[in-house]
Amino acid sequence: MAPREVLVIKIGGGKDLNHDAIARDIADFWQAGYRLVIVHGGAELTNEIATQLGHPPQFITSPSGHTSRRTDRKTLEIFEMVYCGLLNKGWVERLQRLGINAVGLSGLDGRLWEGKRKKAIKALINGRRMLIRDDYTGTVEQVNTSLLQSLLSAGYLPVLTPPAISYENEAINVDGDRAAAQTAIALSARALIILTSVPGLLRAFPDERTLIPSIPAHEVEEYLSVAQGRMKKKVLAAAEAVKAGVSQVIFADGRVHNPIQRALAGEGTVIQ
């Protein structure tokens, strides 16, 4: 891999990730001339702060059994406080400390991540099917690459975070992994590295000895059934990215030293 190529790094929201080690690795690649775009999560801390603010997280179960976060307007605002405020500015400060001129943006800023809001969400509540219409979630369909490219060309490292913006100009909660995948596709990134609290995709979660070391791009969707919980969306994101031409998606351990170096050296689950 040659410098000037773009790497998109998705940093999960688990509290046991080694933020200092990730930041140092980012600095090394940046100073070697790679163009990096960071996307970060923050679900765990959002749940804690939402609870402190008297609006604890709620989850919706769809009739097919899929669970997702309920995002009413109040939840969305707490989400913005934690993701766009505390965590995004925390990452910018941490990277500035390492000499990187980071710029933190949400998907609202410059319509960086634009997409469709779900008009209604089907949910099973006390065994009854309900339609929830005041939920602010959706999917990223467009990425403002011109804004990202002009920041990168001017020497800034973009640090991106949900929410995104709907076509009707509403802030919408979107999956960070899939937003990172769309970003990697839009920038023709050489690789998308997804750092989490596990060493990669595990055949029998949580047994780390069952790590799947590699998956051929054309088989990735078959692994959707292997993935547990939040890992499902990551496999979906990976499938979207490799299908659209990102040559490598790597699920890697964000708790270790040199996590990006190790991911690019083939540790974790490499999808290509």
Name the residues that contact a copy of itself, by CB under 8 A: 49, 52-54, 77, 80-86, 88-90, 92-93, 96-97, 101-106, 108-111, 146-147, 150, 154, 156, 163, 165, 169-171
Q: How far is the CB of 75 from a copy of itself (least distance, A)?
A: 12
CA distance 247 to 263: 14
Identity of residue 56:
P
CA 195 to chain centre: 9
> 85 or 245: whose CB is closer to a copy of itself?
85
CA 151 to chain centre: 20
Q: How far is the CB of 153 from a copy of itself (least distance, A)?
A: 10
| DSSP-assigned states of every residue in 128-165 | EEEEE-S--BEEEEEE-HHHHHHHHHTT-EEEEES-EE
Q: How far is the CB of 29 from a copy of itself (least distance, A)?
A: 19
Q: How far is the CB of 235 from a copy of itself (least distance, A)?
A: 30
CA distance 159 to 92: 7
> 67 or 169: whose CB is closer to a copy of itself?
169
Q: How far is the CB of 61 from a copy of itself (least distance, A)?
A: 28
> 144 or 269: whose CB is closer to a copy of itself?
144
> 46 or 248: whose CB is closer to a copy of itself?
46
**Could you tell me where the beta strands, DSSP code E, fall in the chain?**
6-11, 35-40, 59-61, 67-69, 102-106, 113-117, 121-125, 128-132, 138-143, 157-161, 164-166, 171-172, 191-196, 214-215, 248-253, 269-271
> 29 or 83: whose CB is closer to a copy of itself?
83
- Of the candidates 256, 270, 272, 258, which has an alpha carbon nearest to the alpha carbon of residue 198? 256
> 158 or 199: whose CB is closer to a copy of itself?
158
Q: How far is the CB of 216 from a copy of itself (least distance, A)?
A: 40
